[in-house]
Amino acid sequence: MTGYSESMTVTSAHPKPATDAAFRQQLERDAVWERMISPGTRVPDLPLLEADLGPIFLHRLLDTGPVVLIFFGHAGSPGSADALAAYEKDLRGLDAHLVAVSPQRPERLAELKHRLDLSGLLVAADPRHTLIDAFNLGYSSPESAPALATGRSTLPYPAVVVVDRTATVRFTDVSADPSARTGAAAIIEAVTAL
């Protein structure tokens, strides 16, 4: 890891740790892990671009229920399609808004959403990675720039963030492993505890 920029985006190349634990230790040594989103943090009201609906605001969603934010790289990221399809299936009926967030252009996310028929998820773009940066979840991945099609190359670490109706984070799970996925049971437990 080479460090981080003012926006706290990790500036190393795509993490390829021997193990998740080893990379987590590196993050802790670099004090990056501590700056990532954690329970108790207030969520800013930043707009995202939903693939079908256009601009959505987190605080408007919170007016009608808690929000589960699922961060993933992009439509072509290994395992992303499978993970999103599994989340939709396993979390169907959960009393929360499910929002999958990627820095990829919304048009490319719309293709994924329609191909997988993700009608139970809001699939939203954060093309300037403002929410990703606010949560300190980003890292530089220059090889991903063509897939993102935004002129940028920041990807989020795989993460799930549960936000209650007061815009307070109540649960986070962030992994250094790009193929990692938070278990549905942990998300359900976090939402039902609200």
Per-residue pLDDT of the chain (194 residues; tens, 9 = 90+): 333 223 233 333 334 445 556 665 665 555 566 788 899 999 999 999 999 999 999 999 999 999 999 999 999 988 899 999 999 999 999 999 999 999 999 999 999 999 999 999 999 999 999 999 999 998 888 898 999 999 998 999 899 999 999 999 999 999 888 778 899 999 999 999 99
Return the pLDDT at 10: 33
Say which DSSP state 165 is in.
T
CA distance 49 to 117: 18
pTM score over 0.85: no
Q: Where are the domains of the chain?
A: 20-192
Return the pLDDT at 3: 32
Helices (H), 45-173: 58-62, 80-91, 106-116, 130-134, 145-148
CB atoms within 10 A of CB 89: 10
112 burial (CB, 10 Å; 0-12 / 13-18 / 19+) is buried
Helices (H), 140-181: 145-148
Judged by DSSP in three states, 65 sits in coil
User: How many C-alpha atoms does 143 have within 13 Å on its Cβ side?
Assistant: 6
CATH 3.40.30.10, applies to 20-192: yes
- Which of these, 87, 58, 104, 57, lies nearest to 173 by C-alpha position? 87
